[in-house]
């Protein structure tokens, strides 16, 4: 008998719900169906999750892609002030196999200024994949400084700091099942 997870104590959470777990599940299923359709005739599809923020989105999305994909992970960190994305990005953990000739889908949690994923896509393109696409759960257009094409977008959100479903505040709350914004309550 599978038991449901115990609900969080919402009174104590310093967050307000922005996107419910149910709304996320519906949208992720739609994105997975679209990717399945777009890649159904392609071989060698590699889905690369950007650590750590994408892991929960990736785990759900991958199970809605009804094709034999491979999963890889890449770790990146930005230099400098953590709250201001500088665009100077370091790869801290690379994918385990070459992507040359492969159809790559990069999975991100959020495109904020666009610097991090912009750098990453540029880096991966130099490795000559057959194609490269970007899936991002969230996009904050008000903050965007660098133009990045998001091929598979979950939700456009306002300029608020959000947490949950993979996104953290000081490394915590990635396991929150919904997307909330910090209210400081
Ligand atoms: P960018 O380079 O400004 O696009 O920032 C991308 C990274 O910053 C994301 O992959 C997240 O890890 C982090 N980030 C940006 N906005 C938020 C937020 O609202 N909550 C949590 N993390 C965020």
Beta bridge partners of 77: 90
Pocket flag, ligand 1, residue 89 (CB < 6 Å): no
Q: Is 3 a member of any domain?
A: no
Task: Give the domain extent around 74.
Answer: 15-182
For ligand 1, atom 17, which residue shows the shortest CA distance? 161
Pocket flag, ligand 1, residue 114 (CB < 6 Å): yes
For ligand 1, atom 12, which residue shows the shortest CA distance? 53
For ligand 1, atom 8, which residue shows the shortest CA distance? 112
Which atom in ligand 1 lies closest to the alpha carbon of residue 115?
A: 2
Residue ranges of the alpha helices (H) in 10-159? 21-39, 55-62, 115-125
Spatial distance between the Cα atoms of 115 and 97, rounded to a whole number of angstroms: 25
Q: Is 7 a member of any domain?
A: no
How many Å lie between the centroid of ligand 1 and the Cα of residue 152? Answer: 17
- Rg (alpha carbons) of the chain, rounded to whole number: 17
Q: Is 109 a member of any domain?
A: yes
Q: Is 9 a member of any domain?
A: no
Q: Is 88 a member of any domain?
A: yes
On whether the CB atoms of residues 54 and 72 are closer than 8 A, the answer is no
On whether the CB atoms of residues 159 and 142 are closer than 8 A, the answer is yes
Q: Is 107 a member of any domain?
A: yes
Q: How confident is the model at residue 185 (pLDDT cuts 50, 70, 90)?
A: low
Spatial distance between the Cα atoms of 150 and 157, rounded to a whole number of angstroms: 14
Q: What is the pTM of this model?
A: 0.93
Q: Is 6 a member of any domain?
A: no
3-state secondary structure of 7: coil
On whether the CB atoms of residues 157 and 141 are closer than 8 A, the answer is no
Q: pLDDT per residue over 131-173, tens digit each?
A: 999 999 999 999 889 999 999 999 999 999 999 999 999 999 9
Q: pLDDT per residue over 40-75, tens digit each?
A: 999 999 999 999 999 999 999 999 999 999 999 999
Determine whether 151 is an active site residue: no
Spatial distance between the Cα atoms of 108 and 106, rounded to a whole number of angstroms: 7
The enclosing domain of 39 has a CATH number of 3.40.50.2020
Total count of domains within the chain:
1
On whether the CB atoms of residues 125 and 131 are closer than 8 A, the answer is no
Spatial distance between the Cα atoms of 16 and 5, rounded to a whole number of angstroms: 20
Weakest-pLDDT range from 5-9, 127-131, 132-136: 5-9
30-33 contacts at long range (C-beta below 8 A, 24 or more positions apart): 31/61, 31/64, 31/135, 31/152, 31/154, 32/61, 32/62, 32/63, 32/64, 32/65, 32/66, 33/64
Q: Is 4 a member of any domain?
A: no
């Amino acid at each position: 008998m599978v038991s449901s997870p115990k609900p969080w104590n919402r009174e104590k959470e310093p967050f307000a719900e922005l996107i419910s777990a149910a709304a996320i599940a519906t949208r992720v299923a739609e994105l997975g169906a679209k990717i399945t359709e777009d890649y159904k005739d392609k071989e060698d599809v590699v889905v690369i999750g950007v650590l750590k923020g994408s892991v929960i989105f990736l785990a759900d999305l991958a199970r809605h892609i009804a094709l034999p994909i491979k999963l890889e992970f890449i770790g990146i960190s930005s230099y400098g002030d953590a709250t201001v994305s500088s665009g100077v990005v370091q790869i801290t953990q690379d994918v385990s196999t070459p992507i040359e000739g492969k159809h790559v889908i990069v999975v991100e949690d959020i495109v904020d200024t666009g610097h991090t994923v912009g750098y990453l896509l540029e880096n991966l393109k130099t490795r000559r994949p057959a194609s490269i696409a970007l899936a991002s759960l969230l996009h904050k257009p008000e903050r965007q400084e660098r133009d990045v094409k998001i091929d598979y977008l979950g939700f456009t959100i306002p300029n608020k700091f959000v947490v949950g479903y993979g996104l953290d505040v000081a490394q915590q709350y990635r396991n929150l099942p919904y997307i909330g914004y910090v209210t400081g309550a």
